[in-house]
A and B are shown apart, each in its own frame.
Chain A
Amino acid sequence: MLLISCPNCGPRDETEFHYGGQAHVAYPENPAELTDREWAEYLFYRDNTKGAFAERWLHSTGCRQWFNMLRDTVTYDIQAIYPMGQLRPATAPTAPSVTSPVSPEGAVK
């Protein structure tokens, strides 16, 4: 079980939280102009990084606030916790990381 330091409430067990998937996936700026391929990228395609991965978590049974977390998907080390809207901190991956050919901000730019 992960011990997650909620930015508002402090360290709590993982069972108090909900996982929200990859962080920094922006809603398309011009949705009406997206192709089917671009919609597929936005809806279904996410990075599946082996190594340091930026993801969203919700402290659902505590302050009920969302925040971002940088976590290693091999060792499960929590490397950073930072507010929504803030850029991903520069933290060296501790496991061999596979980088996506697509921007970490999501496919839609």
Chain B
Amino acid sequence: MTTEHLPEHPDFLWRNPDPKSSYDAVIVGGGGHGLATAYYLAKNHGMTNIAILEKGWLAGGNMARNTTIIRSNYLWDESAAIYETALKLWEILPEELDYDFLFSQRGVMNLAHTLGDVRESIRRVGANKLNGVDAEWLDPQQVKELCPILNINDNIRYPVMGATYQPRAGIAKHDHVAWAFARKCDELGVDIIQNCEVTGFLKEGNRVVGVKTTRGTIHTEKVGLCAAGHSSVLAEMAGFRLPIQSHPLQALVSELHEPVHPTVVMSNHVHVYVSQAHKGELVMGAGVDSYNGYGQRGSFHVIEHQMAAAVELFPIFARAHVLRTWGGIVDTTLDASPIVGTTPVENMFVNCGWGTGGFKGTPAAGLTFAHTIATGEPHTLNKPFSLERFETGALIDEHGAAAVAH
């Protein structure tokens, strides 16, 4: 961990063009998913006359606010398939994008604190192995060997009764990931347009033909929505509904420390997940606020609860200082799985509902959503994540593996 250094910034990352009057496709949302979608549209489908519209600055929303954890140890076949595809892409992307975004496969442990957790965790290890996802069950002693600062005493409120472990999981430097995609998109001819908020859509009958923005009207054949917490706001502008509820999810970092935390530790039960950033900050995530919210901040009692658990599990954290806290707006669904695919509006496609797990899915979301936009058809991997599943009842209930209850 200490031998890695932040990569130098290239001199040139992307142009800042004015929007043209028309594009073959417009991606709404300049975060990780929007950038990855545009990248694969250009690379795999030869669509280069496309624009990414971002209401603020590039990757300044959830892409700048997540806790950078990447893993694929989900329970259900559909989720394991899409997240494992993402993980395999993460493994090759630094070379492909020619940008070292410090993908560090330091492993992820998901702790079990109750007998129920233990049974569920062992079941998930089995499910992962059947799906070709690397997974192991660790007893408390093995947990201690991997992360010596963890308190594995059995007389604490949340005793560590074991953990699932995915060795290939890890973290990546999220802002560098965004810049890596943005630079390649730009090289391929994609216009990245910042400070450009979508205010409405132009439709002919039920077909979208353009986008109204604060920087003028843009005509386009196809629209892909990648707006995370604001997806339902855009959908309402376009005249359809999404089964999405937006909640604030918060995280925090400590001041810089010597390397103490060699892996990633998550606890679904007590809602804390911790890794140590390359520079040395302890990065911690908390739960979501229970109520709907669009203010990018979280409630104090949520981090208070998380910190109490963190200090019990990692006693040495009691002397660490919090440097800053922040919140992002996560788009949650009732089955804790994303919605990717076609919409009731012709030529309009949606990629949303990733809830608290969007960052790790970035490359696979982009790859499969690009396929859907280019061909008008679902990709094999995103087909189960259609909007129709809420009518057919073919839900993908990932509450157990989504890490944050929502």
Contacts and interface: CB of A to CB of B under 8 A. Distances in A.
Contact of A76 (B290, B295, B333, B390): B295
Interface string B314-338: 0000000000000000000110000
Interface string B213-249: 0000000000000000010110011011111111000
A73 B245 CA distance: 11
Contacts of A109: none
A59 interface: no
Interface residues of B, number: 28
B237 A98 contact: yes
B334 A73 contact: no
Given A40-B391, A48-B246, A101 B236 contact: yes
B245 A46 contact: yes
A48 B334 CA distance: 13
B236 A1 contact: no
Interface string A14-48: 11001101000000000000001101110111101
A75 B248 CA distance: 12
Contacts of A55: 291-292
Given A37-B391, A98-B236, A74 B294 contact: yes
A46 B332 CA distance: 12
A71 interface: yes
A45 B301 contact: no
B294 to A, nearest CB: 5
Contacts, number: 73
B390 A44 contact: yes
Most chain A beta carbons < 10 A, residue from B240, B294, B300, B390? B294
B293 interface: yes
A8 interface: no
Contact of A101 (B241, B244, B295, B334): B241
A95 B295 CA distance: 11
A36 B291 contact: no
B16 interface: no
Contacts of B391: 36-37, 39-40
A78 B101 CA distance: 43
B242 A48 contact: yes
Contacts of B300: 1
Interface string A71-94: 101111000000000000000000
A42 B186 CA distance: 44
A40 to B, nearest CB: 4
A40 B291 contact: no
A36 B392 contact: yes
Interface in B22-78: none
A21 to B, nearest CB: 8
A94 B242 CA distance: 24
B142 interface: no
Interface string B329-360: 00001100000000000000000000000000
Nearest to B296: A74
Contact of B233 (A2, A19, A40, A48): A48
Given A36-B392, A50-B294, A71-B291, 7 more contacts: A19-B291, A21-B245, A37-B391, A43-B334, A43-B390, A50-B233, A100-B236
Interface of B: 230, 232-233, 236-237, 239-246, 290-295, 299-301, 333-334, 390-393
Interface of A: 1-2, 13-15, 18-19, 21, 36-37, 39-41, 43-46, 48-50, 53, 55, 71, 73-76, 95, 98-102
8 contacts: A14-B299, A18-B290, A39-B391, A45-B390, A73-B291, A76-B293, A99-B236, A100-B241
